Homo-oligomer: A and B are copies of this chain.
Amino acid sequence: MQSSRSKPCSCPSLKLREVASMYFTLVAAFLVILVVALQGSAPRQSDFPYKVPLDPQGLLELSWNVSYPEQAVHFQLLIRELHFGLLFGMSDRGEFENADLAVLWSDGHNSYFGDAWSDAKGQLHMDSQQDYQLLGARRAPEGLYLLFRRAFSTCDPKDYLIEDGTVHLIYGILEKPVHSLQAINVSALPGGLQRVQLLKPNISIPQLPRDMKSMEITAPDVVIPSQETTYWCYMAELPEGFPKHHIIMYEPVVTAGNEALVHHMEVFQCAADFDSFPHYNGPCDSKMKPERLNYCRHVLAAWAMGAQAFYYPEEAGLAFGGPGSSRYLRLEIHYHNPLVFKGRRDSSGIRLYYTATLRPYDAGIMELGLVYTPVMAIPPGEDSFILTGYCTDKCTQLALPSAGIRIFASQLHTHLAGRKVVTVLARHGRERQGVNADSHYSPHFQEIRMLKEVVAVFPGDELITTCTYNTEDRSRATVGGFGILEEMCVNYVHYYPQTQLELCKSAVDPGYLHRYFNLVNRFNDEEVCMCPQVSVPQQFYSIPWNSFNRDVLRSLYGFAPISVHCNKSSAVRFPGQWEKQPLPSITERLREPSPRCPPSAGAQPAAPVPLHLGQLRRD
């Protein structure tokens, strides 16, 4: 079935006969390409430093590298069990519709490779511009290796733009022969999605000291529960009298065979206020979990699927051990087990590398964004509602050293409605530099990311964090708070030298929000309504959400003064007047970089490339 949707440059339906005739035309040229490509394509580990399983069984394994000079990604896809083809591609949030796909398909005799896109109904179309460029294909004992290349930006409106931050990869499996690409509807195929940070920053690895030691914080032979989602908690302990050290690097330790199940892991340090913490080894949401474990929230290390080792900059390390630092650590592992495997055993965790030879600077973590308060709320049924948190010039003026701080990594955080997070640095009312941005942010994929460029922040600078939320599936307002159905807008930035400033966030002035509630009550019923003193969430829940009330809330957040939290710790503010502060006014925005397009000469013709794979095996 072919879509009737019109397309500016639509491709002719490639019937088998046409494909055959094309084949003879293209085969000569193609063979040359293939030979050239395969000569250089013996897959060495170092060629593709990043690796992630695509499916829960690990039958599809994606490796890749990033060439910033070429502005392109090279992919190596290992297909352990090939049926009649495979789709691999990208889409905004992992949906199969409106996706940009590389397709390998077989009609039972011959195999082809092409660049395609799926429309809003999942129907595949050959792309008029072939931007997934096949570099080679190779059979090996473990399966078929496909090598191909994609420029970050192709300037083809049907193509996905590969940006920094999260990329939603999708795959689909062809279980029957297909006679043309147009015969495929992606929505009906078995397949799945995997989130990765495709554009890994190109950072040189700092020199490591000779006295470096390591310790593994790993779960001791856990039986992974046979359920889709498990957060596992395990308490570890530093040796008694462990002096201050610097963590200078950490890396994942994943039990072989469980690569597709271990989704992300974090090591938290507990609060120093308590002398001891109970030992625990079990699900984090168990009723048996001791209350006190909630006081283990200071992040020491975080890893997510596809991430590699994390290195601190040469001048800094993350302090742990010594007086004023808790000996207790909590390891949290998110197991993602959608196929509900039973009895799988796992001892994954994180390996910390540390040194007693302290580096010049302690690294610190600072929290930017919104205060956890219900005054910041999102109406229900919004497809992209924006909330903004400010770290103001007044706060950085007071709290940062005159030589400034250097932000080198960042972890973005929202709850389930979060769709985008961006932090920008502004100076004198002008946006100067992005600190971190994820236009395809997912709350299910939170990792600490090294920044491509270290960001220097000086006294008087402003750090503005903007979160975009989707509440289309909700029927009442979503207020700010700690609950999973409440929202957050946070950027944990990792920086050095450590300062006393732990938290630089904001929320709308509560008095102005009160005016908003009054205004809404009066506007909808001109009788002046004396609202009973109900809670802010209750007031939000009782608003009739018409377009006016939505618009005015948006206007309020863009206008009303803010309450600034410029804090030494979550409870202790720097001295000063922090209430009813003016919103920073930004006179100059950062410009979106206009995408660089490959020269049109580089694009390949809109025809499938035949492959010499022999007959594909039927399982």
Instruction: Tell me how many chains of this kind the complex includes.
Output: 2
Using CB atoms, name the residue of chain B closest to A594. Answer: B8
Identify A555's interface contact among B522, B547, B559, B600, CB under 8 A: B547
Chain B residues lying within 8 Å of A559, measured Cβ to Cβ, are: 546-548, 551
In Å, the complex CA distance between A555 and B555 comes to 9
Taking the nearest CB of chain B, how far is it from the CB of A139, in angstroms? 40
Indicate if A519 sits at the interface (CB-CB under 8 A). Answer: yes
In Å, the complex CA distance between A526 and B519 comes to 10
In Å, the complex CA distance between A559 and B552 comes to 11
Taking the nearest CB of chain B, how far is it from the CB of A508, in angstroms? 12
Taking the nearest CB of chain B, how far is it from the CB of A458, in angstroms? 27
Chain B residues lying within 8 Å of A560, measured Cβ to Cβ, are: 548
Indicate if A222 sits at the interface (CB-CB under 8 A). Answer: no
Indicate if A523 sits at the interface (CB-CB under 8 A). Answer: yes
Contact with B along A523-551 (1 / 0, CB 8 A): 10010100000000000000000111001
Chain B residues lying within 8 Å of A556, measured Cβ to Cβ, are: 548
Contact with B along A494-528 (1 / 0, CB 8 A): 00000000000000000000010011001100101
Do residues B528 and A523 form an inter-chain contact, with CB atoms below 8 A? no
Indicate if A278 sits at the interface (CB-CB under 8 A). Answer: no
Indicate if A554 sits at the interface (CB-CB under 8 A). Answer: yes
Do residues B558 and A555 form an inter-chain contact, with CB atoms below 8 A? no
In Å, the complex CA distance between A8 and B153 comes to 14
Taking the nearest CB of chain B, how far is it from the CB of A13, in angstroms? 22
Contact with B along A582-597 (1 / 0, CB 8 A): 0000000000001010
Using CB atoms, name the residue of chain B closest to A515. Answer: B523
Taking the nearest CB of chain B, how far is it from the CB of A498, in angstroms? 38
Contact with B along A81-96 (1 / 0, CB 8 A): 0000000000000000
Using CB atoms, name the residue of chain B closest to A553. Answer: B555
Most buried by B among A518, A547, A556, A559: A559
Chain B residues lying within 8 Å of A555, measured Cβ to Cβ, are: 547-548, 551-552, 555
Do residues A551 and B558 form an inter-chain contact, with CB atoms below 8 A? yes
In Å, the complex CA distance between A307 and B41 comes to 67
Identify A558's interface contact among B518, B522, B547, B558, CB under 8 A: B547
Taking the nearest CB of chain B, how far is it from the CB of A560, in angstroms? 8
In Å, the complex CA distance between A90 and B357 comes to 68
In Å, the complex CA distance between A552 and B558 comes to 12
Using CB atoms, name the residue of chain B closest to A512. Answer: B523
Using CB atoms, name the residue of chain B closest to A556. Answer: B548
Seen from chain A, the residues whose Cβ lies within 8 Å of a Cβ on chain B are 8, 515, 518-519, 522-523, 526, 528, 546-548, 551-552, 554-556, 558-560, 594, 596, 600
By Cβ-Cβ distance, the 3 closest A-B pairs, closest first, are A551-B555, A548-B559, A547-B559
**18 additional contacts (CB under 8 A) given A547-B559, A551-B555:** A8-B594, A8-B596, A515-B522, A515-B523, A515-B526, A518-B522, A519-B522, A519-B523, A528-B528, A546-B559, A547-B558, A548-B555, A548-B559, A551-B551, A551-B552, A551-B558, A552-B552, A552-B555
Sample of 21 A–B contacts (CB below 8 Å): A8-B594, A8-B596, A518-B522, A519-B519, A519-B522, A519-B523, A522-B522, A528-B528, A546-B559, A547-B558, A548-B555, A548-B559, A548-B560, A551-B554, A551-B555, A551-B558, A551-B559, A552-B552, A552-B555, A555-B555, A600-B600
